Structure 1
Amino acid sequence: MDIFFFAVMGLLLGSFYNVCIYRIPRKESIAFPPSHCPNCGHKIRWWENIPVISYVLILRGKCSSCGGKISVQYPLVELITGLVFGAIYYRYGMSIWTAELIIAASILVIASGIDWEHYYIPDRFTLGLLLLGYGFSFFNGVGIERSFMGSAAYGFLFVMIYGYGERLFKKEVLGFGDVKLAAGIGSIVGYLGFYRMHLFITTSFVAGAVYGIYLIITKKKDRKAEVPFGPFIAFGGIISALLFL
């Protein structure tokens, strides 16, 4: 039952994270006004705001008032958050790691959603990850030294990719927000050996490459098109945290 509780909590919080993803880049309050349709202003009623279920079974992807299309991002964010929260509890149970990773996953979900839509990651999220990693390192067994080493090592590797990738491909392959996001993840997982760091980077880039190939095959974007990389860094970080801490 505990894993079910964490999964449901993730679904419910995922609904709120959607509000954050939409409003924070627009510099709007995340508390007021209540959730509403951005097209017609229709106030979302409680039965229209049940995670995943409302989108699929009740609204069927459209506003009940104006019929405007609702982005599939909303149920996806809810579902991903629920699955990640459930996986974290399944892996770590009731522990300090569960508390830390629930907060980290929340930051990563919101940062990834903003990056996906707007192609940038606000500093408050990358700085929040760094402080989270440093703060919890005193209690979770990582230690402040390995936490600092992790942020430095992960950040340095992505700085190298950021700099040399631009020289090699004659365009920006990563944003500096991606570098700071990787450093934040490094502060949480700590430096526990090059193999684990290599796996984090490989997972992130393979996931990003698969998505890029999909876009090219389906002709949704060409090879020169910009693709947000923050979500794939977040994916690699979550996989690393679940498998190797």
Structure 2
Amino acid sequence: MQFLNTFDPVHFLDTVMSLATAFVLGTLIGAERQYRQRTAGLRTNVLVAVGSAAFADLASRLGFPSDAMRVVANIITGVGFIGAGVIMKEGMNVRGLNTAATLWCSAAVGSCAGTDMIAEAALLTFIIIAGNTLLRPIAAAIDRIPLNEMASEMSYEVRLSCNSDVAAQMRDTLIAELEAASYPVSDVIIDHTHNDMAELVAKLVSTSVDPKELDAVTTRLARAAGVTHVTWESSTQD
């Protein structure tokens, strides 16, 4: 039997240590995700960690260090596809990015364990769990800080709804009002909707806006004949 010729107790024990380490550390990472009821929980993180360890260990035993590096590089790519599966888009919101990143890190833990870097795998596990737990209250506190519209890099749009027959005229008026307030316009999109209505969307060039000034502009525009609604909105530039 070929198995008897290739079996090496020392190498086998080394593999057992690598896979066991990946299993334990993947369990610690996955338990935190499972507790928070994330899409990729306990079993997924364990399987990613153990699978990465198995491939890295196999490459280390059968090839050269360069071969192990190529296998690890492919593990990174493969886990990226798994991570994409847990990312969901709901309207303007994207969920699952942190869970996908955790899976990616679980693969890194498994790769370290599979290449016999046990201490490094344990350290990485500690950092991952700390990032998912200790940083949560800090992130929540930052989210509660009011956004400074004057200092933040934002993109701004002014939206105006009016009758279709005055859309062209209101486009010129909209640009004139914004430029008079020192807010140059990069583009104006006119979307003719049903019921003879049109929506104008003006994108501003400036990234520093005084909300009171834009409120004053929208108030003046709302008084024009044929205009039914005017508002402005901002979004972060990422």
Is TM-score (shorter-chain normalized) higher than 0.5? no
TM-score under structure 1 length normalisation: 0.32
Select the structure of larger CA radius of gyration: 2
